[in-house]
Amino acid sequence: MTNFRFGRTVKPNERWPVSWYHPLVLLQAALDLLSSLNQFRNRDEREGFALPLSVIDRSQGGADDFWFDFIADTGDGGNATYSVATAAMSESVTSQNHELLLRGELLLLGGDLAYPSASALEYRYRFVEMFEAALPEEVTAQTLVRGKPFTLAALPQNHDWMDSASTFGRYFIRNKSPRQLLGAEIPQHQSYFCVRLPHGWWALGLDFAMTGDIDRDQFEQFAKLLDNAAGQGIGSADRVILIYPEPIWTTPLNAGIYPGGARRYQSLEGLLGARIALRLAGDLHHYMRWTSASDGQLVTCGTGGAFTHPTHTRLTRQPVLLQAIANNDSIPASSGQRIQIGTDDGQLQGARRAFEKVKGSEYPPVSTSRKLALGNLTALFAGGETFGQGNRWFALLLGVLYGLTAMLASSPVGVGLMVLLFGLMSLAIGRESLAEAPAKWSAWQRWLLTGGSSLLHALCHTGLLLWLVCVLKGTLLNALLIPVAGALLGTLIFGAYLAAMSWFGFLTNNGYSALALQDLKGFLRFKISTDGALHGYFVAIDQVPRQWHTGPGLQPVWQPTDRPLTTRVHDRFTIYKSATLKPFTHES
């Protein structure tokens, strides 16, 4: 639940990160998710977008270096989001070796622009005002970067779709006013996009909505780009940056795959083939990179402002593999192939090639990531900007739950119901450990890990509750002390479960959701140099300011007071246009 206050007087440090364990936040997110999924069962909103695909052409100006940025997972806490926006909107950032990285003429937004779920108020509070306030100068009509129009293109992620992408569409698809968001040109007319870049580079942004795949119109529009008869599409020697709404390479290779059928994005990858030089995504709130001499780079970069995700988990350490599978078994038969990318799930068949994780690219660093897990021990007691905010209300919920279930402790059936209730609570969070288990583990071993850890968690709560009932039985304060002890000790047990599962690397998505980590943020800056090479720089912000004051001019609105906003280049890579990736052929 957000305390909405807008304007210049509401500084970034007064815009608190989302308290993900607040009962009302959990309830609202669940209701929004179910509502959006229910609408998708009846109609895919992507089918209503205007066709044909609007190609954003920024291929001119090849005599100069072309700079552009990628930012994803922005709208959470004000300190983090405003820091990233300020660094990205400034005229340049400087690397450790004094290399000048110029502001991007193009900004690609990778989605999840506001949390906990999309709405007009959340977008304005957590995303729009933060980025507008970060502009280095006042813009009344159009923003220019080195004399050229500033351009925006964006993808929605799952949180953006929680209002059926209505708010997302208002900013990026339908609203074509003279003064658009950030004073930028926003030429896209679909929730997916295509940007033609200099020197034969292309950026294709895919929208999965809530379905885990691109829709038919989207597939056909991208496929038409390969029909290059008029020289306006993607040529055989061109290179493609494929931007996903989620890092498909961190899910099991065969997850959700139907034998004899291909997902559309896998068929699109099969059509693009060796043109794909970089696969890029947000969604996981950290930075990681994998590389392959044959298949380019994989990059996860969701560090735009949301709480941090760990980098030491088993999911992020498993090998990433690619395999091509013929579509001969499909009906009707197809001569093409589908490309699958994902972690080794122990069920691989046929030819495959591996991506190697670039050691040291992880952000936060692996050693730091593991230490952060211990913060879960007390994170559920954290407060918020107002009395009604904060994870501490989850502690109150546990206390009430302890008080109610204490009445069941007098019978074996009641004790069984207690174990079941607490077990379901931990299973809802720990279920993701199924995907975190080593690839060689069988299904029963995975479920033993998930079910066993959930059961142990439930037994700890049940044991504590039975002990409290025995100790306090017959006392006048029984009805009061059990809820209080449950709120304190029960919350510590819950925090210890999160800390232990995170420490051992079995929670990636839920491991740090309670921590509201504001530091360890950043974004990707790209340069296409005059020789056609693509240079990538991950610009890291190790510590974001916590206090701000209103600046002397209109823009930027706020300036830090407690510490300077400093950046550094944590990782860099280069993909040469002339390098030839090997086409992948499947085994019969």
DSSP codes joined into one string, 336-371: SEEEEEEE--S---S--EEEEE-TT--BS-HHHHHH
pLDDT computed for residue 133 by the predictor: 96
Beta bridge partners of 151: 106, 185
Q: Is 87 helix (H, G, I), strand (E, B) or coil?
A: helix
**Before 52, cis peptide (omega within 30)?**
yes
Domains and CATH numbers, the chain: 12-363+520-575 (3.60.21.10), 392-503 (no CATH)
Q: CA dist 538 to 70, 99, 508, 574, Å?
A: 10, 13, 21, 12
pLDDT computed for residue 427 by the predictor: 82
> Residue 111's closest CA among 158, 78, 79?
158
CB contact set of 428 (below 8 Å; sequence gap of 6+): none
Contact 392/382 with Cβ under 8 angstroms?
yes
Bridging pattern class, strands 148-149 and 144-145: antiparallel
Q: CA dist 574 to 269, 278, 322, 529, 571, Å?
A: 22, 11, 21, 10, 11
Distance between CA atoms of residues 12 and 79, nearest Å = 5
pLDDT computed for residue 587 by the predictor: 38
> Residue 202's closest CA among 59, 401, 388, 332?
59
Q: Which amino acid is at 129?
A: E
Distance between CA atoms of residues 533 and 578, nearest Å = 8
Residues 186, 188, 191, 196, CA torsion sign: negative
Contact 295/240 with Cβ under 8 angstroms?
no
In 245-341, alpha helices (H): 264-272, 314-317
Distance between CA atoms of residues 543 and 72, nearest Å = 18
Residue 412 CB coordination number (10 Å): 8
Angle between helices 443-472 and 491-503 (to 10 degrees): 160
Q: Would you report the helix, strand and coil content of the chain in percent, each value rounded to 5?
A: 35, 20, 45
By CB neighbour count within 10 A (0-12 exposed, 13-18 middle, 19+ buried), where does 178 fall?
exposed
User: pTM here?
Assistant: 0.93
Contact 159/112 with Cβ under 8 angstroms?
yes
Structure tokens at 115: 């949390």
Q: Buried (b) or exposed (e) across 192-208, using 16+ Cβ within 10 A?
A: bbbbbbbbbbbbbbbbb
Length of the chain: 588
Bridging pattern class, strands 337-343 and 521-528: unpaired
> Residue 518's closest CA among 370, 372, 361, 391?
372
Contact 474/427 with Cβ under 8 angstroms?
no
Per-residue pLDDT for the chain (588 aa), expressed as one digit of tens each? 688 899 999 999 999 999 888 888 888 877 877 777 777 777 788 888 889 998 999 998 667 899 999 999 998 899 999 999 999 999 999 888 888 999 999 999 999 999 988 889 999 999 999 999 999 998 888 899 998 999 999 999 999 998 889 999 999 998 777 789 999 999 999 999 999 999 999 999 999 998 889 999 999 999 999 887 656 789 989 999 999 999 999 887 876 666 677 789 999 999 999 999 999 999 999 999 999 988 899 999 999 999 999 999 877 887 888 888 877 777 777 767 888 898 876 655 555 778 989 999 999 999 999 999 999 999 999 888 788 888 989 999 888 888 888 887 778 877 888 888 888 888 888 787 877 777 677 778 888 888 888 888 888 888 888 888 888 776 666 778 888 888 999 999 999 999 998 998 888 888 898 898 999 999 999 999 999 999 999 999 999 999 999 999 899 999 999 999 999 999 999 999 776 555 554 432
Q: Is 191 helix (H, G, I), strand (E, B) or coil?
A: coil
> Residue 278's closest CA among 322, 243, 237, 320?
243
Kind and range of the H or E element at 415? helix 412-430
Q: Is 96 helix (H, G, I), strand (E, B) or coil?
A: coil
Distance between CA atoms of residues 89 and 247, nearest Å = 26
Structure tokens at 207: 């929208």
Distance between CA atoms of residues 59 and 68, nearest Å = 12
CA angle, corner 570, sides to 564 and 573, nearest 5? 140
Residue 51 CB coordination number (10 Å): 12
